[in-house]
Structure formats: C-alpha cells, structure tokens
Structure 1
Amino acid sequence: MSSNTLKQAAEAARSKSSNMSKQGSETVAAVGNDFLHTPFMRAALPFINGGVSGMIATTVIQPVDMVKVRLQLAGEGVATGPKPTPISVAREIIGQGKVLDLYTGLSAGLLRQAVYTTARLGFFDTFMKSLQTRAKDNNTQVGFTERAGAGLAAGGLAAFIGNPADLALIRMQSDGLKPLAERKNYKSVVDAVTSIVRSEGVTALWAGATPTVVRAMSLNLGQLAFFSEAKVQLKAHTAWSSKTQTLTASAIAGFFASFLSLPFDFVKTRLQKQQRGPDGKLPYRSMADCFAKVARQEGLLRFYRGFGTYYVRIAPHAMVTLIVVDYLGWLTK
C-alpha cells in the first residue's frame, strides 16, 4: 500500500472521528436543551434560579446583616444613651471574638434564602408570566399596579414559608448580646431550630410572622415591582446597554426596598429576638404593641436607625440577587 493511500485512510478516519465527536456533543447539547424545556423544568427554573441567586447574595452581604441586627437591638427601651455606629458595632463584634463572628448565622441565612428567595422570586416570575400572557391576549401591557400586586403576593407567601429560618437567623445573631451564662451558643441553624422547638414549641418558629410577612411585602413592592418598572422605563427612554439598565434598575429597586421595609424589619427583629422574662411575659404582645412602645419609649426616628447600614445590606443584596437571577434566566431561557 502506498504512502498516499495510508495518508488518505488516516485523514478519512480523523474526519469520521471528528464528525462523530461533533454529532455526540450536539446530541448532548440537544438533550440538555430538551431537559431545560420540559414542562417541569420550565416551572421549576424560576424557583431554582431565585434560590441560587439569593444564596450567592447572602454570602456576600452576611457581615453587613450581622451589624444591622446588632444596631437594631442596641438601646432597647431607652430613648437616650450611647448611639452605636456600624463601625463601632463591627469593632465590638471583632474585639469579642474574631472576624469570622461577622458570619454568625450564615447557615440560617443560606437556609432562609433557599426557602424565602426561592419562593418569592419563583412566585413573582410565575405571577408575571401569567400577567404577561393575559396582557398579550388582551393586546395590552402589564402595568405598575399589576407588578406591585405580584410583588406583594410573592413576598407575603414566601415570608410565611421562610419564617422559621428567619427566626433562627435572628436568634443566632443576637445570642452574643446575652450574658455568657445565658447564651445558647447555637452550633448551626438545625441546632437553633431544634432548641427553639424543644424549649418554646413548634408554633414559636412563627414568632414575628406578621411583621415578617408585612416587611417582605413592602420589600418586594420596592424591590421587584420597582426593578421591573425601572427596567421597562430605562429600555423605553435610554439607549443604555442591557447590563447598565439592569444595574441601574437594581440600584433604584434597592433604595425603595430599603425605605419601605426598614420600619417593619426593625419590629420583626425586636419580636423575633424577645424571650419571656422572669414574670413569664414577653416585652411586646404584637406588632402594633411593639410599634407603639418603641415610638413612645425610643422615638419615631428609632425605626430608621441604621438606615445607611440597612441600605448597604439591602441594595447590594438586591443588586447581586437581581443581576444573578437575570443572568441565570438568560442562561436557561
């Protein structure tokens, strides 16, 4: 057999192998694409993408959340006295332990995102798709009121489902404020939830559920509704790139989410942190009672204490969450 014949045979074999490899990769891609477009996955993806994006954002923002909670619990029941700052609180936490103490409660925060953000973004996306389908059938556009309604409903449902993880997070973050002898020293979110159920009962996992739900509804109104509306308006009135529009819309959403939800977040923290005193009574009977006592004893401005810290916690969290969920939505469309 001549050398030319051998070369031709080798090239033919290589060509055949290359074609088979290409066909194999195309088959794998097609199978993956078909899987992503099954009815189950199309329904599940908004929830999966929402949970992943929320957990990434929480990992980034957790130290800020820790400082925010300690600020809200400082000076409880007193109108005057030292006014802590985010820097002084962070310095105190680090001074009492180590830098990683700023990540106290991360496991609870991640569980909360896995439940709460998965549900709220998933529900919101599901509600919006339904509204868009109806608007298309009626030859109309989805308005801000409808976006707001979708945000409120998604936030309320998700917050109620995720309240146990949220409660565990607050308990873990506030544990360091107690005298050494009274600290629970929770090892993880599972330990915190188990301890609460054992000492206070299962229903205690929904302590502070009312302000949690109201906070989530107001936060989602600010975050999701304003994000969705801002994107529509920026797309219609600017020639900015898609990434710039998403970043700007998420910053706008972060501000409104912070402003609308902080008073409810403040009350939620107080209610979830409280425990029965020696007389068997709780400091606050309800959300309304907490609002009234704080306003009377500490002043109305106390509800907005730490707004800067809260904004630094909410806005970047909203921005990271919304940008990641947007990107994941693009990858899996």
Structure 2
Amino acid sequence: MPPSRVVENAKQTSETVLNDASAAVKSATENPKQATSNLLHTPFMRAALPFINGGIAGMTATTVIQPVDMVKVRLQLAGEGVKTGPKPTPITVFRDIVASGKVMDLYTGLSAGILRQAVYTTARLGFFDTFMKRLAVSAEKKGTKIGFKERAGAGLAAGGLAAIVGNPADLALIRMQSDGLKPAAQRANYTSVIDALARISKTEGVARLWAGCYPTVVRAMALNFGQLAFFSEAKNQLKGTSLSSRTQTLTASAVAGFFASFFSLPFDFVKTRLQKQTKAPDGTMPYKGMLDCFTKVAKDEGLLRFYRGFGTYYVRIAPHA
C-alpha cells in the first residue's frame, strides 16, 4: 500500500475515533442517566460491580464497627496462658481502653481494617457472586436449581481465596490493635497500615506478613460458609413471607451473622493469637502453629476460651452480613 494511502487511512481512523468520542461525550452531557446506564451494563462493569460493591460495603461496615473489633481483639488476648486469669467483659475492656488513652484509641488500626476490607471483602464477595452466576448457568442448563450445597461450596471457595490475599492487612490490623497491651517502652507505635507492613517486612521478613494464614483461611471459609451460604438460604426461605424486602434482608443477615460467628470464632481466636505473637529474646514463639495454639489454649485456658466474647463477635459480624 502506498505511503500516502496509509497516511490517509490513519487520518480517517483517527477522525472516526474522535467523532465517536465527541458523540459519546455529547450524548452523556444531554442524557447523563442513559450514559450511566450504558456504562453499568457493559460486560466489564457487569463483571466488576460485585467486586466494587463488596469492597465499598466492607469498608463502610468496618468504619462503623471498628471499635467493636478493637474490643473483640482485646478480649481474645486477655489472660493468655492462664486458665483462671482475668475475666474481662466488653464493658470493662471498652472502659479500660478509653481510660488509658482517649476515645479515638478505639479506632486504632482503622487504616489496616479499611485496607483489609478493600482487599478481602472485595475479593470474597466478588468471587462468591462470580461463582454463583456460573453455578446458576450450569443449573439452568441441567434444568435444576442452585441448592444449599452449591451456595456453601461457593462461600467456602470465595472465603479461602480472599483470605490468602488479605492476610498481610489482617496481620497489620492485629499488630496495631494489640500494640497498646505492651509496656510503653516495647510498643511499636505504628502510624498507619503502610508503616506497619513496611516495618514488619523489614524486621521480621516479608514471609511474616502471611503469619497465621492457615487459620485465617479456615476462619474465612467457616465465616463465609455461615455468612454467605446461610444468608442466601435464609433470604430464599423468606421470599414467600409477608415481610418487606428490607426486613427479609435484615432477618437473613441476623441469621447468617449467628452461624458465621458460631463456625468461625474459634479460628478467629487462634488467628489473633498467632498474628499477635513475636519472637522471644531466645528466638522462640509462644505457638508453633494452628494446632499447637488450639492444644495449648484448650489445655491452659479451657475450651470455652475459644468462644469468649461471642456476643461482641456477633455484633461485629452481623453488620458485615
């Protein structure tokens, strides 16, 4: 093709692109609602929206319940290694945090909590929605409907995958929330989640960011099994009732929150203990791993210690549901 023809074709192509862009901008200016609707219904946005909505929902919920999460972590760390140690309540923990500092100390680790939700919740709800859509297509081809087994499987897979990605932010959150329990001279005094991640990586190694990953994954799978599967099932069961759509959602959330708390709290407890621990002067760790932590806590503190703060944990989980 002659060079002149190539230049002419390129010019025509660029003019076409500019004209299309100009027409799109003009259409969006004249009818913004239609433009927004067209954008939201593109294949890319349809696939991305579950992830975007999940992340925004998770970050919003975290901002609201961060003080509850702070109290929950302090409850799990109280009386470590002692069966007849202190028996704190959410009220006493709340009072101690405020008395030793200021009310805003309840929001310690908020940046880590928001980052965790931006990564973890975005991924788990996005994966869950994606898995459910594929299962729905498969069920439709077979002439069947999605059952509880399929919902549970989708919830377990989505939770496990998302937990691996979100573990570093989760570890930073626990470190920031537990830092205030140390003597003043031993505190790290992290200024933000970025500061925490950078300093932990530098002093303990990058691999340490995935400390407690195994119980975190199991906890996420258990939580998703209870939360997403039971929410979906409860919502499905409530469809034929006289309850309004909003009431159905809230009721299903309450049910899902209970089962999510019941199944996941022991693993959340172990996750907190493993992520909080650091090496002693002799280089040893209090716990060697998830099973060792389960065994030592059960022996030294009793089985019921795994469910300490169940009510607080439920209040933390239910808003996320």
TM over 0.5: yes
Paired residue secondary structure (2:81): coil
Paired residue secondary structure (2:282): coil
- Are 1:103 and 2:110 matched, yes or no? no
Residue of structure 2 equivalent to 1:290 = 293
Residue of structure 1 equivalent to 2:9 = none
Match of 1:262 among 250, 262, 265: 265
Gaps of 5+ in 2: 1-26
Aligned partner of 1:243: which letter? R
Deviation at 1:256, TM superposition (A): 0.3
For residues 204-250 of structure 1, give each alpha carbon's deviation from its aligned partner in whole angstroms, at most 9, with x where no partner exists: 000000000000000000000000001111113x1211111111101
Whether the 8 Å contact between 1:61 and 1:317 is mirrored in structure 2 is no
Cα distance between partner residues in 2 of 1:26 and 1:255: 49
- Are 1:300 and 2:307 matched, yes or no? no
- Are 1:215 and 2:219 matched, yes or no? yes
For residues 42-98 of structure 1, give each alpha carbon's deviation from its aligned partner in whole angstroms, at most 9, with x where no partner exists: 110000000000000000000000000000000000000221111111111001110
Paired residue secondary structure (1:266): helix
Q: What CA RMSD, in Å, does the superposition of the two structures yield over aligned residues?
A: 1.1
Deviation at 1:26, TM superposition (A): 6.0
Deviation at 1:25, TM superposition (A): 6.4
Whether the 8 Å contact between 1:294 and 1:300 is mirrored in structure 2 is yes
Paired residue secondary structure (2:285): coil
Cα distance between partner residues in 2 of 1:227 and 1:312: 16
Deviation at 1:137, TM superposition (A): 1.5
Deviation at 1:115, TM superposition (A): 0.1
Residue of structure 1 equivalent to 2:142 = 138
% of aligned pairs identical? 76
Whether the 8 Å contact between 2:235 and 2:252 is mirrored in structure 1 is yes
Residue of structure 2 equivalent to 1:326 = none
Give structure 1 regions of 4+ aligned residues with deviation exceeding 4 angstroms.
23-26
Deviation at 1:179, TM superposition (A): 0.6
Paired residue secondary structure (2:82): coil
Gaps of 5+ in 1: 1-22, 319-333
Whether the 8 Å contact between 2:132 and 2:151 is mirrored in structure 1 is yes
Residue of structure 2 equivalent to 1:85 = 89
Whether the 8 Å contact between 2:78 and 2:86 is mirrored in structure 1 is no
Q: Which moved more, 1:151-160 or 1:34-43?
A: 34-43
Whether the 8 Å contact between 2:269 and 2:306 is mirrored in structure 1 is yes
Cα distance between partner residues in 1 of 2:85 and 2:265: 22
Match of 1:314 among 296, 302, 317: 317
Residue of structure 1 equivalent to 2:187 = 183
Residue of structure 1 equivalent to 2:176 = 172
TM-score (norm 2): 0.90
Residue of structure 1 equivalent to 2:12 = none
Whether the 8 Å contact between 1:71 and 1:305 is mirrored in structure 2 is yes
- Are 1:126 and 2:117 matched, yes or no? no
Residue of structure 2 equivalent to 1:241 = 244
TM-score (norm 1): 0.87
- Are 1:112 and 2:116 matched, yes or no? yes
Residue of structure 1 equivalent to 2:253 = 250
Cα distance between partner residues in 2 of 1:211 and 1:179: 28
How many residues are aligned here?
295
Cα distance between partner residues in 1 of 2:312 and 2:146: 34
Whether the 8 Å contact between 1:215 and 1:261 is mirrored in structure 2 is yes
Which of the pair has the greater relative contact order for Cα pairs under 8 Å at 6+ separation?
1
Deviation at 1:34, TM superposition (A): 1.1
Cα distance between partner residues in 2 of 1:240 and 1:296: 47
- Are 1:49 and 2:71 matched, yes or no? no
Aligned partner of 1:195: which letter? R
Residue of structure 1 equivalent to 2:15 = none
Cα distance between partner residues in 2 of 1:173 and 1:183: 11
Cα distance between partner residues in 2 of 1:254 and 1:85: 21
- Are 1:194 and 2:198 matched, yes or no? yes
Residue of structure 1 equivalent to 2:3 = none
Residue of structure 1 equivalent to 2:4 = none
Cα distance between partner residues in 1 of 2:196 and 2:129: 32
Cα distance between partner residues in 1 of 2:279 and 2:28: 65
Aligned partner of 2:308: which letter? R
Cα distance between partner residues in 2 of 1:74 and 1:176: 12
